[in-house]
Structure 1
Amino acid sequence: MEKGQFFVAGINYKKTDAGIRGNFAISSDQYHTILTNAARIGLKELFVLSTCNRTEIYGLAPDADTLIRLLCEVTVGDASTFLQLCYIKKDEEALQHIFSVGAGLDSQILGDYEIVGQMKIAVRFSKERGMIGAFMERLFNTVLQSSKQVKNETALSGGTISVSFAAIQFIREQLTDTAHKKIVLLGTGKIGRNTCKNLIDYLDTRNITLINRTEEKASELAVSLGLLHAGWNQLETEVEQADIVIVATNAESPVLTAKNVKADKAKILIDLSIPNNIDPQLAQVSGIILANVDDLSRINDQTLRMRKAEVPKAMAIIQQHMQEFAAWTSQRRHVPVLKAVKQKLHDMHSCGLFLTSRRTSKDINTEAIQKVVNNVAVKMRNRHQPGCYYIEAINDFMTSSQ
């Protein structure tokens, strides 16, 4: 392993509800602070994955507590609560976890492929701030390759099951006729856009009004899909008129509360956000049906059963890619020795002891030295044990120079 061991520490839907996860969700500003503080204490490689179903910190560190402190210093939730609920994995177990997450095996809805896009964003954020090095870069690229192969060669992500699609199924369970229902969608980020397209495709309706804090984004999506849009200052009026309100915003506190949701008509409220962007207390209001991401994940059907049957195939693909990554890390451990051997041969050659009339200094540098180093690398990989590599390298170099 590189400097420090590879750890992941996190919480997810398995032991925490949406409310608790919301206390450990991180914003972009909090993420930036985590990376700044990490660099200050000498850490060089880490990233944080914060979604509606999980908050995880991955990194090379001396111990997991270091990563947990970095995370909890900036969250509403404290480290003691996190430690009671979290899982901590290191080295091989941590590698297994990140591959499983990337393949959708650890998603709240099995095979949910949206996690891959969220991981890409998280890693890119860290890389742009200089906190993704050779180890993490290679690891994440291998995870992406594994995830892509799982998606292409299995039916783990087959069918139409995701949190955004589960919202559609929930609406169908509550209403037999949706054609004339007014739908308001708050938030036009990735989840909001996916949900919007599912509404059109599966509910066969365009009676949808889009609202976003940045009105231009809502307007652009509305125009492209032939929908309506409204400004954020019209939120209360639009919500009052709506039959269904779906919230996919990324606010740090609820945007729908008893203050802006009047109980004058029956409504379905769906919260796709973490932390909660719809006040949970609204579930107690007469006529209101409220569902959050945990409620939606309980929806099960034939598609989900089909996905479960694909898990062994996905695991076999993951094992193959994990072995490839293990081979790469093994080779990385030999790099210091190989560099030392190469430098020693250059030092020997510079004294002129092995020059012949038939070969120039440049010839030997480019041919003999590299060939010897390559041979040493092969022997180190094949033997998997320490040995007198200097002596063998010198002997090979003397033989090739005669």
Structure 2
Amino acid sequence: MKPDWSMKYLAEEKECQGLNDFFVFGINYNKASAEIRGKYAIDTSTAETILNAGSTIDATDLILLSTCNRTEVYGLGNMEVVIQKVSEVIGQPADSFEKYGYKLKAKAAVFHLFKVASGLDSQILGDFEIAGQLKQAAKFSKKFGRLSNLTERLVNFALQASKEVKSKTQLSKGTVSASYAAIELIQEIHPQADSIKILLIGLGLFGENVGKNIRHYLPNARLTVANRTLMKAEMFAHHHRCSYLPFEKVGEVINAYDVVINTAAVEAVLIKPEHVQRNGIAFLDMSVPGGISPDVQQLGCTYYNIDHISAILNKTLAARQAEVPKALDIIQYHIKEFVEWHKVYLQRWLIYRVKDLLFELDCAESTVPKEKKVQNALNHLVVNIKKDPYKGCHVLGAINEYLKN
């Protein structure tokens, strides 16, 4: 039975040609403060609403990346329509992405994705936590049918570049990540930090990293974790030898701790001045939108948000700047690899057509030698080869495969 290549190659050709419609828009730390970024944060529920928008959003692919430093939407389709829909869902004006953010398409969007994945666009240069967050965001989109083979491969190429940048440069030299920044800050505030009591609120990917760093670098600190899903807090406490408590109890117990760290994105402020009954507590609000009121400073407590932490660490990043050219070379190499893959993928329809033709010749001319069949196939496709020598390579590849059978 003749293989049905036609529907497959037409679908793939259409999908790959959509690369010119690849886009990204968003806001990040460059032009927007933590307070503003908080208004554009996309939580799981909001992400589901956007990804379930169907054809009204006019995009086949969507990846929603929302962290403490950025909210970005990657996709294939009509960027302006997607901006309108996303703005409507999050309740912010669409033109704010012009004021506070950026809109990129095609090659510029691809380059931006690679820089983000490799830590070159992080608020803390060389912070590779974003790579894991990008991977999770892509996986989440795939669950909703919003990740085609093209975009998935593009993300995979970007993640491969990220791994090579991390292993072959000194861009991440030292321990200057956002999650480790909390440890350095705690040690600065409390020189005897190894024996203090710490409450960690939120155990998402970032929160888990903060918790693991506390256990690793401050093994004698008395750590308690709280999370919306109590079972997750219980499991973390079991694996990392610490205590846990229900999320709703946080406001009642904060006065028992020396340091309170929030990594949970919440719609309303979680810790307010009325919850604080003593001075000397150090509050680290590492979430966007923030969950701790800055007004706790008026009660004799210290308060830091993600922007403060980034500013403190910037002085240690000079050496990393020297590694940026090496990282860019690696990124350019992997972008070139992706472009080559994309070219081959675009020509799959031609390979399928050659296979179809050879199959037809097999059926119609069973007594004709293979060499004659190959000549007939080349005669049919010589026009395509003359127009584009690159296509000729794929034709010859298909014929070579045929001759091996």
TM-score (norm 1): 0.85
**Aligned residues of 2:273 and 2:299 also touching (Cα < 8 A):** no
Q: Which runs of 5+ in 1 are unaligned?
A: none
**Residues 1:105 and 2:120 are matched in the alignment:** yes
**Residues 1:79 and 2:89 are matched in the alignment:** no
Amino acid at match of 1:273: S
**Aligned residues of 2:358 and 2:374 also touching (Cα < 8 A):** no
Q: Output the CA distance in 1 between the equivalents of 2:181 and 2:271.
A: 21
Q: Output the CA distance in 1 between the equivalents of 2:210 and 2:366.
A: 73
Aligned counterpart in structure 1 of residue 285 of structure 2, from 252, 271, 275: 271
Range 140-149 or range 65-74, more displaced: 65-74
Deviations 1:178-236 (A, max 9, x none): 24432111122222222122223333433122222222222222232222222334323
Residue aligning to 2:226:
211
Structure 1 residues 132, 372: CA separation in 2 closer, same or farther (over 3 Å shift)?
farther
Q: Output the CA distance in 2 between the equivalents of 1:381 and 1:243.
A: 72
Deviations 1:220-253 (A, max 9, x none): 2223222222233432332011121001113222
Alignment of 1:3-402 (within 5 A): 3=18, 5-62=21-78, 64-262=79-277, 264-283=278-297, 285-300=298-313, 303-340=316-353, 342-343=355-356, 352=364, 355=365, 357=367, 359=369, 368=374, 383=389
Q: Secondary structure at the match of 1:105?
A: coil
Of Structure 1 and Structure 2, the greater helix share is in: 2
**Aligned residues of 2:123 and 2:310 also touching (Cα < 8 A):** yes
Q: Output the CA distance in 2 between the equivalents of 1:237 and 1:226.
A: 23
**Aligned residues of 2:195 and 2:221 also touching (Cα < 8 A):** no
Percent identical pairs in the alignment equals 36
**Aligned residues of 2:251 and 2:270 also touching (Cα < 8 A):** no
**What do you get for the CA RMSD once the two structures are aligned?**
3.2
TM-score (norm 2): 0.84
Q: Output the CA distance in 2 between the equivalents of 1:381 and 1:167.
A: 59
**Aligned residues of 2:272 and 2:292 also touching (Cα < 8 A):** yes
Q: Output the CA distance in 2 between the equivalents of 1:7 and 1:273.
A: 26
Q: Secondary structure at the match of 2:139?
A: helix
**Aligned residues of 1:159 and 1:303 also touching (Cα < 8 A):** no
Structure 1 residues 357, 179: CA separation in 2 closer, same or farther (over 3 Å shift)?
closer
Q: Output the CA distance in 2 between the equivalents of 1:73 and 1:364.
A: 62
Amino acid at match of 2:27: I
Q: Output the CA distance in 1 between the equivalents of 2:117 and 2:65.
A: 11
**Aligned residues of 2:57 and 2:85 also touching (Cα < 8 A):** no
Amino acid at match of 1:291: Y
